Chains A and B, each alone.
Chain A
């Protein structure tokens, strides 16, 4: 029996019930027949329709919603409050049988399909679900006074990152939840620093606030799972006085399906998915995890990417194996890799046309990450631009070759690095003076490929304390 068990469900009167709307041509076709029926007629759109029959306006679509009317016209027969049978659209034999009038509509075609009910209109369905649905949402409701400005209320409650957020109404959150197959009460992760369980519902609320579309939600969930691992160590990433935050690198065909940017201005503004997925993760850390600047977040400077830093690798156009594949995933997998990183910095070389010279430039710039005399403590994420990538690819350098060439150029003399060398106090202890020290750990350089097609530039993003004492990059598969 088609109905939604719900205390708000209006009961239908015994006898025949017909649901129609003026906008539907099939409804207009059968309208003259309704005079022959002793039926209760509900009209969805125009209260004056049908003209010669007294009808009830289902203005809030309550009847249509609760009785799961998907098509108009729908004819239902009710006995003792129970629905006995229904037919949708116009099927002459069905109408004749259900009404008991053998000649009903004999002059009409045998069959005409109906139209979509307003209660399943995609533009209305979220509102109706919020209005009538048995809400599966458990979050506390924040009631607004009539004169409250909802944007200001959210600022006042301290739940924004300093920019306005989209007010998380039940309707918007329910729509967001359509983006995942996971139940609202599923636990995604335990978020530091407060070490609280975060449910899919709380993720969805913050994703709404960040400006995400429902199809981004699985990416937010995957990123959050990655951020909340012991390896990534978001507690430390927050608490450090260094200017780092989660940098999200997205891989896979899904990046293109949701319209992510891996090209022009890839690390900049202007793309909704890039801008909001990372922001949603940071809002969750703030609002659910309790990680707020000035409290557990002790960054001396921070960086603008802490509002949210997320981009797609151009893995479809890359001459190199993608970051995700290099980390053991398939090229068909949709993945998010999280890296504790600072703001990006450009690597300029507009003159090098052979790979060795360009590698020399990369190495010289990479050496300066954090401090030219500090080694091994920090990883670095390299975003190779297409024009630079072309120079390496033309020469047949693949990912492994490029990384090997860079590491080879970043073997540094301890004597140049010790404290005091170059008249700089910063540096490694004196006893390392005779050693050769690599700038980066063997897996401490992460290579990605992205950016606009014009410009002989790349970008580098310095990391934070690496390895088991700090933060390690983590990759998670995106699950619908």
Chain B
């Protein structure tokens, strides 16, 4: 008989939301994680999204080295229907 060294949690699996048929009229959040040149990628995405009729909101993590603060996550979830996160490296 051994003792369980883990946190004994059951991982909750969350399903992805259905993919929207169109981005026209949808609010898309762009999250910059604060890595160098992530903004270059997101600037271009913003242009493309506006061109297809999406509303774009920009967000930025204080530092790439830590998870997004809970308030920021809440704000994105409240304001946006779609979110795109720019990774870098």
Query: Which A132-172 residues have C-beta < 8 A from chain B?
Result: 137, 139-144, 150, 153-154, 159, 167-170
Interface flag for A173 (CB, 8 Å): yes
The residue of chain B having its C-beta at the shortest distance from the C-beta of A150 within the complex is B2
Docked CA distance A159–B8 (Å): 12
Task: Beyond A169-B2, A205-B3, list 4 extra A-B contacts (CB 8 Å).
Answer: A141-B3, A168-B3, A194-B7, A469-B63
Taking CB atoms, residues of chain A closer than 8 Å to B34 are 469
Taking CB atoms, residues of chain B closer than 8 Å to A468 are 63
Docked CA distance A233–B63 (Å): 12
Docked CA distance A159–B7 (Å): 11
Docked CA distance A13–B3 (Å): 37
B3 touches A139 (CB 8 A): yes
Taking CB atoms, residues of chain A closer than 8 Å to B4 are 139-142, 205
Stretch at the interface among A43-51, A247-255, A282-290, A381-389: A282-290
**Given A287-B7, A290-B7: A470 in contact with B65 (beta carbons within 8 A):** yes
Please give the number of chain A residues whose Cβ is less than 8 angstroms from any Cβ of chain B in the complex: 42
Interface flag for A213 (CB, 8 Å): no
5 nearest interchain CB pairs? A236-B65, A140-B4, A469-B63, A196-B7, A142-B2
A142 touches B66 (CB 8 A): no
The residue of chain A having its C-beta at the shortest distance from the C-beta of B34 within the complex is A469
The residue of chain B having its C-beta at the shortest distance from the C-beta of A174 within the complex is B3
Q: Could you write out 25 A-B pairs with CB less than 8 Å apart?
A: A139-B8, A140-B3, A140-B4, A141-B4, A150-B2, A159-B5, A168-B3, A168-B5, A169-B3, A194-B7, A194-B9, A196-B9, A202-B5, A205-B5, A230-B66, A233-B65, A233-B66, A236-B63, A236-B65, A241-B89, A283-B5, A287-B5, A290-B7, A469-B34, A470-B63
B2 touches A168 (CB 8 A): yes
Give per-residue flags for A440-480: 1 if the beta carbon is below 8 A from chain B beta carbons, else 0. 00000000000000000000000001001111000000000
The residue of chain B having its C-beta at the shortest distance from the C-beta of A284 within the complex is B5
Chain B contact surface mostly = loop
Taking CB atoms, residues of chain A closer than 8 Å to B2 are 141-142, 144, 150, 153-154, 167-169
A397 CB, nearest partner CB in chain B, Å: 35
Residue B5 contacts which of A150, A239, A241, A288 (CB distance < 8 angstroms)? A288
Interface residues on B, range: 10 to 19
Interface flag for A66 (CB, 8 Å): no
Give per-residue flags for A201-233: 1 if the beta carbon is below 8 A from chain B beta carbons, else 0. 010011001000000000000000000001001
B74 CB, nearest partner CB in chain A, Å: 16
A169 touches B5 (CB 8 A): no
Docked CA distance A83–B83 (Å): 73
Taking CB atoms, residues of chain B closer than 8 Å to A170 are 1, 3
Docked CA distance A236–B7 (Å): 20
A143 touches B1 (CB 8 A): yes
Residue A209 contacts which of B1, B5, B7, B67 (CB distance < 8 angstroms)? B5
Docked CA distance A247–B50 (Å): 47
